[in-house]
Amino acid sequence: MLTKYEAIKIAKQKAFEYKLSWSDRNLSVKAGEINNKPCFIVSTMDDGCDESGSWLDFQFFNPNVFYINSVDGTFLGYNIANRKHIFISDDKDSME
């Protein structure tokens, strides 16, 4: 059984692999289910604000959500800003 910290590590790795934004400051993890598979749902949103910058420079970016199988650590997929899910798992037929 995967821990939430291992799920975060996998999600972060996949964010960099797929060139998606990531922020350790804006991070949440919850247990859930996607297409009858137990998973960790890892959400992050890069706020785009430099700590020394003005509030006028503040930018909002889309949240990224990653789905990690909580049983075996398989990366199931992700979505960006509540758009269509992008499934990565080899088990695509059972996830549609």
Rounded Cα gap, residues 27 and 96, in angstroms: 27
Token representation of residue 81: 């800003």
The pLDDT of residue 96:
38
- Please give the angle made by the CA atoms of 83, 10 and 64, to the nearest 5 degrees: 20
> What is the pTM (predicted TM-score) of this model?
0.75
Both tokens assigned to 87: 């499934």
Cα dihedral 44→47→48→51 (10° resolution): -120
Report pLDDT digits (tens) over 30-47.
Answer: 999 988 889 999 998 765
